[in-house]
């Protein structure tokens, strides 16, 4: 955490030196290029073109990024492509974890092809052991849905039975509450096993924002 805080302070210091407005928050991104930047105050869009160079100057050392639920057909391919196309992440260790060994092996083989096509030098690994996946990792990204689609259908069907129709039934409303009650204990368990817990990203939280 100290290394992260130090990096942020260095970035903000460099921004002030260049006369840019101080950001209200800092986002670590992967993949897609930034097409538009803004904050809560005025923003100099011409000066903003130097922000990617500042971020590269102070980027953190190579990291291990663990994808829990890494056998996901929906999320893992997208993230692997973004990682492979992000030069700042070159040399990083990407670890895929899943309890479904068949799906995990499929995503591992796909990941090797993506890395080869992108010409990147990621180290890609896969494991069904949560302890092994969390060992020495710096970032954890969750793609899990406790109970799977068979359980999630009740999050939508039961509220619908009582006249509650949800445009989004996985992060808000009664469906979101049910999903949270299933997922939170699992996520807490993962965090406890990850005793060097610094930051954990969840795709469902990201989608809500």
Q: Are 64 and 92 in contact (CB under 8 A)?
A: yes
Q: Is residue 89 domain-shared with residue 172, that is, in the same domain?
A: yes
pLDDT at 156 over 50: yes
Q: Is residue 154 domain-shared with residue 82, that is, in the same domain?
A: yes
Q: Is residue 30 domain-shared with residue 80, that is, in the same domain?
A: no
Q: What is the CA radius of gyration of the chain?
A: 19
Helices (H), strands (E): how many in the chain?
A: 8, 5
Q: Is residue 38 domain-shared with residue 69, that is, in the same domain?
A: no
Q: Is residue 85 domain-shared with residue 147, that is, in the same domain?
A: yes
CATH code: domain of residue 115:
3.40.50.720
Q: Is residue 147 domain-shared with residue 117, that is, in the same domain?
A: yes
Q: Is residue 34 domain-shared with residue 99, that is, in the same domain?
A: no
Domain residues for the domain of 44 are 2-57
Q: Is residue 192 domain-shared with residue 173, that is, in the same domain?
A: yes
Q: Is residue 18 domain-shared with residue 104, that is, in the same domain?
A: no
Domain boundary pick from 57, 85, 103: 57
Alpha helices in the chain (DSSP H): 2-17, 51-57, 76-84, 101-118, 130-134, 148-161, 173-193, 203-208
Domain boundary pick from 39, 57, 75: 57
Q: Is residue 44 domain-shared with residue 7, that is, in the same domain?
A: yes
| pLDDT tens, position by position, 158-167 | 988 999 888 7
Q: Is residue 166 domain-shared with residue 117, that is, in the same domain?
A: yes
Domain boundary pick from 40, 57, 74: 57
Domains contained in the chain, number: 2
Q: Is residue 145 domain-shared with residue 187, that is, in the same domain?
A: yes
| pLDDT tens, position by position, 1-37 | 455 566 666 777 777 777 766 655 554 444 444 333 3
d(CA 181, CA 194) in angstroms, rounded, equals 21
| pLDDT tens, position by position, 114-147 | 999 988 888 999 999 999 999 989 889 999 888 8
């Amino acid at each position: 955490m100290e290394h992260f805080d130090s990096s942020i302070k260095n970035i903000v210091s460099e921004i002030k030196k260049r006369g840019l407005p101080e950001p209200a928050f800092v986002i670590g991104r992967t993949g897609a290029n930034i097409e538009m930047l803004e904050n809560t105050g005025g923003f100099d869009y011409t000066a903003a073109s130097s922000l990617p160079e500042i971020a590269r100057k102070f980027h953190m050392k190579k990291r291990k990024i663990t994808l829990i639920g890494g056998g996901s057909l929906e999320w893992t391919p997208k993230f692997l492509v973004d990682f492979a196309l992000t030069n700042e992440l070159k040399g990083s260790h990407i670890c895929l974890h899943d309890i479904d060994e068949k799906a995990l092996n499929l995503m591992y083989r796909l990941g090797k092809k993506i890395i080869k096509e992108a010409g990147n030098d990621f180290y890609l690994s896969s494991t069904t052991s949560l302890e092994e996946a969390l060992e020495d990792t710096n970032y954890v990204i969750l793609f899990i849905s406790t109970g799977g689609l068979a359980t999630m259908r009740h999050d939508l069907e039961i509220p619908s039975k009582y006249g509650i129709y949800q445009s989004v039934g996985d992060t808000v409303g009664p469906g979101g509450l049910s999903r949270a009650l299933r997922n939170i204990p699992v996520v807490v368990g993962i965090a406890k096993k990850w005793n060097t817990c610094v930051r954990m990203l969840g795709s469902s939280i990201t989608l809500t924002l």
